[in-house]
Amino acid sequence: MRKGLINYWLEAIIAIPLLLAILIFSSCTLQQQTVEESLTAADLPFQDAFDRALLTFLASPLATNPPFYTTPPELLDKGYTYGDLLTFSFLSSTEQESYRQLFIQAAQKEISYVTPNHIDWILTFVTPLSNFTVQQQTQSWVSSPVPVSGKTYHHQSLLFPHKNTPIIVELRWWKAAQSVINA
Amino acid sequence: MISKQGTGALILIVLGFGVLLIFLTLLQHSVTYTAVGQTSASVLDEVMDERRINFYVSQALRDAVHTSLQQLTQDGLAPFFSSEDCSLYQGKPLLLSSPTCTFSQAQFEAQFLSLVKSHWEATLQATSYPSLKKLPSSTLSLAITSRHMDFSGSFASPLSYQGKHVTYTFPVTYAESFSYDLHEYGLFFTTLTNNIPCLLEYRAESATKCSLSQDFIWTIKEENQLLLITAKTQKPFFLSDYLSFSFAISLNNVETPKNYSPLFGG
């Protein structure tokens, strides 16, 4: 004679937690994959938009009266562009660093204006002697210094002319922390 | 103890969920790898190379102009007076010592353009984009007007791009403007030409009697029947650097410029 279901208590004790564990694990894994997939499909045009914004910024004339930083007097009214700030390789390292800081400050502001809030990015300039970075400027509760989803996109944005070896400009970007939580 | 039937049911349940999990995982992976937008993003990226390369060429031109301006602050008159055209004294041109050792706007512009072009081509020939490996011939012209210096030109033939998704050709053109007119050179030569008789008469001792331009700091010495003159700009010329002209003039044999045309109305 078959036993009633109520009599399989030992099997039930083993099977139910096991099933729960499988369900929890699978739901977590699949949710994460969905986030990554939706990021790829929706946000890949960001890369193109960013490259265009970067080229426009590099060719823009220096702001004569910038709101957040000071342009040195020797750069005023001479038609210099932001890209020019990276090309004065004949200057001393101190002067080059000073112009580079001006470039970083301006790039952080100007490019951040045209990139969406739900994406964080870091731009790395690989020069023959050293590297420097420009990072997306957002409010701290939205941005994260490292990608939360684990999915980061890497891409060579452009090459920039330099004395003998061009500067390689690399873009790394990911979905901002707040957006991942909401996804 | 677990019965045989119970064990069988348990194994079937676990296997069933395991298969379901594997199926769902594989399904999700297949969606991830064929993401919509990835191919079109790659195409956009490749099409952007035209703009990147045009920017590279233009920015290299800007760099060449700035490098040339900086070279002027280092060398002053040297780029414009070779030893073939002009006798040298202690490395300084002996100005107006012969008909070829003089100065004209056309000569000045041609030599400055040549200087810029040499720097520009050196940068373009450095390793960069594959499309720039074989550079076609190019044109580069210079127009100097009051307070502006404009360079423009184009590559004689279009460049080609070969990517994974697209292949195309595109023209390369450039037009860059700079807020420099190099009027310091014109001002310097105007002053010098107008003051040659005065300098020869009063020499180094009383050169202050001559009407030398106040835009320069003049240093004048006499040595071996020569006036050794340095004229340094009062204001910075390029970034924080000043322009300085060092030259010599013979007290015995000066070739007065006949067809001298002042630069830019200076």
Structural domain ending residue among the three candidates B123, B145, B178: B178
The percent of residues above 70 in pLDDT, for chain A, comes to 70
The percent of residues above 90 in pLDDT, for chain B, comes to 47
Residue A131, CA distances (Å) to A47, A168, B38, B178 in order = 21, 10, 29, 29
**DSSP of B79-100:** GG--TTTS-EETTEEBTTSSTT
The domain total for chain B is 2
The order of strands in the sheet holding A167-175 is A131-135, A119-126, A167-175, A153-160
Token pair recorded at residue B15: 């296997």
Q: Which residues of A touch B21 (CB under 8 A)?
A: 22, 25-26
> What is the rounded CA–CA span in Å between residue A36 and residue A14?
34
Residue B83 lies in a domain: no
Q: Which of B55, B65, B147, B238 to mutate to test the interface with A (most CBs of A within 10 A)?
A: B55
Given a contact cutoff of 8 angstroms between Cβ atoms, the answer to whether B220 and B251 are in contact is no
Residue B3 lies in a domain: no
- Say whether pLDDT at A31 is over 60: no
pLDDT of residue A150: 61
The average confidence (pLDDT) of chain A is 78
Among residues B142, B140, B217, B136, which one has the least CA distance to residue B184? Answer: B217
pLDDT of residue A145: 57
**DSSP of B191-257:** HHHHHHHHHHHHTTTTGGGS---TTEEEEEEEETTEEEEEEEESS-SBTTBPPEEEEEEESS-----
Residue B222 lies in a domain: yes
DSSP three-state, residue B155:
strand
Q: One-letter amino acid identity for A90? A: F
Angstroms from A41 CA to nearest CA on chain B? 5
Structural domain ending residue among the three candidates B129, B146, B178: B178
- Say whether pLDDT at A47 is over 90: no
pLDDT of residue A117: 77
- Say whether pLDDT at A39 is over 50: no
Structural domain ending residue among the three candidates B158, B178, B198: B178
Residues A53 and A27 in one domain: no
Residues B48 and B68 in one domain: yes
Q: Which residues of B touch A153 (CB under 8 A)?
A: none
Which tens digits make up the pLDDT trace of B112-153? 999 999 999 999 988 789 888 888 999 999 999 988 999 999
Residues A17 and A92 in one domain: no
pLDDT of residue B36: 65
Residues B236 and B191 in one domain: yes
- Say whether pLDDT at A37 is over 50: no
DSSP three-state, residue A118:
coil
Inter-chain residue contact B128 with A59, CB threshold 8 Å:
no
Would you call B60 exposed, middle or buried from its count of C-beta atoms within 10 A (0-12, 13-18, 19+)?
buried
Angstroms from B220 CA to nearest CA on chain A? 29
Given a contact cutoff of 8 angstroms between Cβ atoms, the answer to whether A40 and B32 are in contact is yes
Residues A52 and A127 in one domain: yes
Q: B188-194, long-range: CB within 8 Å, 24+ apart, which pairs? A: B188/B213, B188/B216, B188/B231, B188/B245, B189/B103, B189/B260, B189/B262, B189/B263, B189/B266, B190/B262, B190/B263, B190/B266, B191/B216, B191/B231, B192/B95, B193/B257, B193/B260
pLDDT of residue A1: 47
Pick the more confident residue, A16 or A72.
A72
Residues A34 and A56 in one domain: no
The average confidence (pLDDT) of chain B is 85
Residues B232 and B259 in one domain: yes
Token pair recorded at residue A131: 């590297």
Which tens digits make up the pLDDT trace of A94-117? 999 999 999 998 998 888 887 787
Query: Which range of residues forms the domain containing residue A123?
Result: 44-182
- Say whether pLDDT at A30 is over 80: no
- Say whether pLDDT at B237 is over 80: yes
Inter-chain residue contact A160 with B13, CB threshold 8 Å:
no
Residues B256 and B199 in one domain: yes
Residues A19 and A75 in one domain: no
User: b/e string for A135-153 if b means 16 or more Cβ within 10 A?
Assistant: bbbbeeeebbeebbbebeb
DSSP three-state, residue B101:
coil
DSSP three-state, residue B160:
strand
Residues A99 and A30 in one domain: no
Dihedral pair phi/psi, residue B236, rounded to 5°: -60, 145
Residues B69 and B150 in one domain: yes
Pick the more confident residue, A62 or B97.
A62
Residue B87 lies in a domain: no
pLDDT of residue A110: 87
DSSP three-state, residue B16:
helix
Residue B161 lies in a domain: yes
Residues B171 and B200 in one domain: no
pLDDT of residue A182: 46
**From A42-46, A124-128, A160-164, the region with the lowest mean pLDDT:** A42-46
Residues B123 and B230 in one domain: no
Query: Which range of residues forms the domain containing residue B138?
Result: 38-75+104-178
Among residues B133, B129, B159, which one has the least CA distance to residue A160? Answer: B129
Residues B174 and B250 in one domain: no
ipTM of predicted complex = 0.78
- Say whether pLDDT at B34 is over 80: no
Inter-chain residue contact B9 with A47, CB threshold 8 Å:
no
Q: Which residues of B touch A34 (CB under 8 A)?
A: 28
Inter-chain residue contact B17 with A22, CB threshold 8 Å:
yes
Residue B157 lies in a domain: yes
Q: Which of B29, B63, B147, B241 to mutate to test the interface with A (most CBs of A within 10 A)?
A: B63
Which tens digits make up the pLDDT trace of A131-159? 999 988 765 444 455 555 567 888 899 99
Residues A27 and A76 in one domain: no
Token pair recorded at residue B255: 């070739």
The domain total for chain A is 2
Pick the more confident residue, A52 or A15.
A52
- Say whether pLDDT at B257 is over 70: no
Residues B142 and B236 in one domain: no
Residues A165 and A117 in one domain: yes
Residues B221 and B192 in one domain: yes
Residues A35 and A111 in one domain: no
Q: One-letter amino acid identity for A163? A: K
**DSSP of A5-69:** GGG-HHHHHHHHHHHHHHHHHHHHHHHHHHHHHHHHHHHTHHHHHHHHHHHHHHTSBPPSS-SSS
Inter-chain residue contact A91 with B239, CB threshold 8 Å:
yes
Given a contact cutoff of 8 angstroms between Cβ atoms, the answer to whether A46 and A176 are in contact is no
Would you call A10 exposed, middle or buried from its count of C-beta atoms within 10 A (0-12, 13-18, 19+)?
middle
Residues B109 and B129 in one domain: yes
State the pLDDT confidence band at B20, using cuts at 50, 70 and 90.
confident
Residues A65 and A12 in one domain: no
Residues B164 and B217 in one domain: no
Pick the more confident residue, B266 or A54.
A54
Residues A90 and A176 in one domain: yes
Mean pLDDT for B11-27 is: 74
Q: Which residues of A touch B6 (CB under 8 A)?
A: 8, 10-11
Residues A50 and A36 in one domain: no
Q: Which residues of A touch B3 (CB under 8 A)?
A: 3, 8, 11
State the pLDDT confidence band at A183, using cuts at 50, 70 and 90.
very low
Q: Which of A44, A59, A162 sits opposite B38 (nearest CB)?
A: A44
Which tens digits make up the pLDDT trace of B162-218? 988 899 999 999 999 999 999 999 899 889 888 988 898 888 888 889 999 999 999
